[in-house]
Amino acid sequence: MKLYDTLTRTNINIEDEEINIYVCGPTVYDHIHMGNLRPIVTFDVLRRLLEHSNKKVNFVHNITDIDDKIVAQATKLCLAENDVAKQYTIAYLDILNELDIKMPKIVKVTEQMDGIIDYVKRIYETGYAYKIENDVYLNTSKINNYGILSKRKLDEQIAGHRIKSDENKLSPNDFVLWKKTTTGIVWKSEFGDGRPGWHTECSYIIDKEFQQKGFIIHGGGIDLLFPHHENENAQNIALYNRNLANCWVHVGHLLIENEKMSKSLNNFIYVKHLIESFNYRSIRWVFYNSSYTLPLNFDGNVIKSAQKDIEKIVNCINRFRTYLIANNQNIPSTSLTCDSFKESLLDNLSFANATKTIWEHVKTINEAIAHKKIEENIWAYQKLMWCLEIYGIVPEMLHNDHINEQIRNWAELLANKDYENADIIRNKLMNKKVL
């Protein structure tokens, strides 16, 4: 398996038998949009691929369920912060289920507070952090090669980054590990009442879950590269003098009219609204036609095109299943590994090449139906099903005993040249979308 590593700017080979994956999750103050969805779908495919390659995968995904944005939303809605976080956490997990995402281990920040407080204390005791009043900051000037992940020089960061200025800090690059606050829910610590910094939450969870062992892949959207992932990494260097992950994998922006989809620009599309109008397979398919590292333009035409693609694939599969039954064949219950599809994905998740293989199988199956060579091409059906398993878009099985009996009757009428009655059954099968 080769993946592009943001830190080294090269593809690195992954040969370990056990792989740890951490993907930053949402701050649950609102519903997620399509841009938020792209990373979790991408890493779901990676997980499926690795598991089908007999690798053990430990996939951890956090939920940031305490944050200033949650406090603000709770105030706006006249609700308790916990209720806001719970509402949007449930909504997010429901979407993962509806999109057939294999559920990662979900870790909520609020359930990790004792460990996070101890983590901040450990960093403070290394001398890499300092305290001003009841705020604790990481001293980035003590971190060798700070900026190595995002490839930013310190002066560039000071001039251009979006970190909030705080006159108390020794440097604008320093970031909070523990912040004093009287707003919203607070936790008691030896540093004073407050809450952890965002960057600290994720770095602690990775430290706790993986314990600096095994091959660690850290993933997320490219917008998290700086400052979030850079600052996560800095904390690990402070504690262990090593990078937080063995491979940093970043997913490109989703764009609307060539601008990044984001709530700050108010140009986003909620996933929950798309689910109301489009099959989940169509939503996932949107991400499977270009490199995951590149920006991807999204609009109504893109999702409609994805829906048409899925309809073609599903129709091909259902028709082939019908002709199997008509030819007294059983629908295979097992799939066959598709080597060309697998090789494409093993090469840095080359979605475009992998998807091309799917269309080749669809073409083979349609030609098999047209030329009445069903039995000879069962392998193509089985390989196509394997590809769709990895992509998480396997069509539902429409063929039940009743439909199968109708198919056999239809085939018998055709064999007896009773075309009038055969057409009656044929129309029924078409209405049931199996022909």
Q: Which residues are annotated as a binding site for ATP?
A: 263
What is the residue type of 294?
Answer: L
Sign of the alpha-carbon torsion through 110, 111, 113, 119: negative
**Mean pLDDT, residues 255-268 taken together:** 87
- pLDDT (0 to 100) of residue 163: 45
What is the residue whose two structure tokens read 């990481």? 138
pLDDT at 257: 84
Residue 222 has pLDDT above 80, yes or no: yes
- Each residue of 77-119: pLDDT tens digit? 999 999 999 999 999 999 999 999 999 999 999 999 999 999 9
- The predicted pLDDT at position 393 comes to 99
- Residue 156: band (very low, low, confident or very high) from pLDDT cuts 50, 70, 90: low
Are 7 and 149 contacting, i.e. CB atoms less than 8 angstroms apart?
yes
* pLDDT band for position 266 (cuts 50, 70, 90): confident
Residue 207 and residue 411: Cα distance in Å, rounded? Answer: 62
Phi, psi of 157 (to 5 degrees): -65, -45
What are the residue boundaries of the structural domains of the chain, listed by start?
2-277, 304-431
Over 50: is that where the pLDDT of 211 sits?
A: yes
> How large is the average pLDDT for residues 398-403?
96
- The overall pTM is greater than 0.85: yes
For residue 54, is it left (φ>0), alpha (ψ between -120 and 50) or beta? left
pLDDT in tens, 279-322: 999 999 999 999 999 999 999 999 999 999 999 999 999 999 99
Under 8 Å between Cβ of 71 and 184: yes
What pLDDT is stored for residue 161 in this prediction?
46
pLDDT at position 264 is: 81
Instruction: Detail the residues annotated as belonging to a binding site for Zn(2+).
Output: 24, 202, 228, 232
pLDDT value at 357 more than 90: yes
Distance CA 222, CA 381 (A): 36
* DSSP strand pairing (2-5 vs 254-256): unpaired
Reported as a pLDDT band with limits 50, 70 and 90, residue 191 is very high
What average pLDDT does range 209-215 have in this prediction? Answer: 94
> Is it the case that residue 164 has pLDDT exceeding 70?
no
Output the CA angle 334-335-337, nearest 5 degrees. 140
Helices (H), 12-62: 34-52
pLDDT tier at 159, thresholds 50, 70, 90: very low
CA-closest candidate to residue 111, choices 205, 24, 229, 29: 205
Residues 6+ apart with CB under 8 A from 358: 313, 341, 384, 387, 388, 391
Would you give the end-to-end CA distance of the chain in angstroms?
Answer: 39
| Count of other CB atoms within 10 angstroms of residue 417 | 8
Tell me the mean pLDDT in the region 171-180.
96
Residue with tokens 């600096």: 212
Q: What is the mean pLDDT of residues 148-172?
A: 69
Q: Return the pLDDT at 154.
A: 60
- Looking at residues 386-393, what average pLDDT do you find? 99
Q: Tokens 């989940």: give the residue.
A: 280
pLDDT of residue 26: 98
Closest residue by Cα to residue 175 from 138, 220, 217, 214 = 138
**What are phi and psi for residue 130, nearest 5 degrees?**
-140, 160
Segment 149-174 mean pLDDT:
70
Instruction: Say yes or no to pLDDT of 254 above 50.
Output: yes
Do 147 and 6 contact (CB within 8 A), yes or no? no
Asked whether residue 356 carries a pLDDT value surpassing 50, the answer given is yes
State the virtual CA torsion across 406, 412, 414, 418 in degrees, nearest 10: -100
- In the predicted model, what is the mean pLDDT of the chain? 95
pLDDT number for residue 152: 84
- Sheet of 254-256, strands arranged across: 259-260, 254-256, 296-297
Which tokens belong to 174?
Answer: 């320093």
Q: Which amino acid is at 132?
A: I
Question: Which residues face 21 on adjacent strands?
Answer: 59, 217
Q: Is the pLDDT of residue 165 over 60?
A: no
pLDDT band at 265 (very low <50, low <70, confident <90, very high): confident
Residues at the annotated binding site?
24, 202, 228, 232, 263
Say whether 156 sits in a helix, a strand or coil: helix
Q: What is the mean pLDDT of residues 262-271?
A: 88
Top-level class of domain 2-277: alpha beta
Q: Percent of the chain scored above 70 by pLDDT?
A: 97
